[in-house]
Amino acid sequence: NAGVTQTPKFQVLKTGQSMTLQCAQDMNHEYMSWYRQDPGMGLRLIHYSVGAGITDQGEVPNGYNVSRSTTEDFPLRLLSAAPSQTSVYFCASRARSSYNEQFFGPGTRLTVL
Amino acid sequence: QKEVEQDPGPLSVPEGAIVSLNCTYSNSAFQYFMWYRQYSRKGPELLMYTYSSGNKEDGRFTAQVDKSSKYISLFIRDSQPSDSATYLCAMSAGSSASKIIFGSGTRLSIRP
């Protein structure tokens, strides 16, 4: 089991560029989430999904899009990157019956210039 | 006001000390309470979770929940340098709740 994988590990973008952060899990988990982590702010929920074809907004969804076409994959799209989106992004997954034990990926460090 | 408040630290204690980490929250619907540990440049890992009020012990770690005060704690006994990490509290409203809300994390350093 690879668990939760994220690519890329590091990325530098210019303001206005778009990109997709990839997330995949091989544990057949129903729930998947994207968080961003900024100094002093903890983990803030961006978007989440409770199953293929179902997504919803978290605390800080503006500037980000998601889709969930398969159970395994949950990509996060930045349509027009802004310096305020400089952060570390974590993808997480859990089984619906697991009483909140989330498994996190290793993170993607994104810098927007 | 944030739903979950956590002192960011940093907290530095000598090896062997008892460490107390705390969070307060405002949403009375929270029923599941978790502590995650995050080493530098890694993703968070679940350390412990508890349901509703009470205590839970796992080795050197004890989690306490006081729902009447909306206050949760994590105690680490006989702290070790390997416990140096950021500790994040997290909460949700139900076992199948899709949203888990995190505190800002407390950075802990154990001095040898």
Q: CB distance A43–B102 less than 8 Å? A: yes
- pLDDT tens digit sequence for A93-110: 998 877 667 899 999 999
Under 8 Å between Cβ of A56 and A109:
no
Question: Per-residue pLDDT for B2 more than 90?
Answer: no
How far, CA to CA in Å, does B21 sit from each of A30, A55, A103, B52, B61? Answer: 31, 34, 22, 18, 11
Between A31, A99, A104, which is nearest B98 by CB?
Answer: A31
pLDDT in tens, B35-49: 999 999 899 999 998
Average pLDDT for residues A40-51, to the nearest whole number?
89
- pLDDT on residue B82: 96
- CB contacts, 8 Å: B51 with chain A: 99
Contact B96 A33 (CB under 8 A): no
The CA distance from A109 to A86, in Å, is 8
CB-CB under 8 Å, B42 with A106? yes
User: A31 touching B, CB under 8 A?
Assistant: yes
Q: How many Cβ pairs closer than 8 A exist between chain A and B?
A: 61
Say yes or no to pLDDT of B95 above 70: no
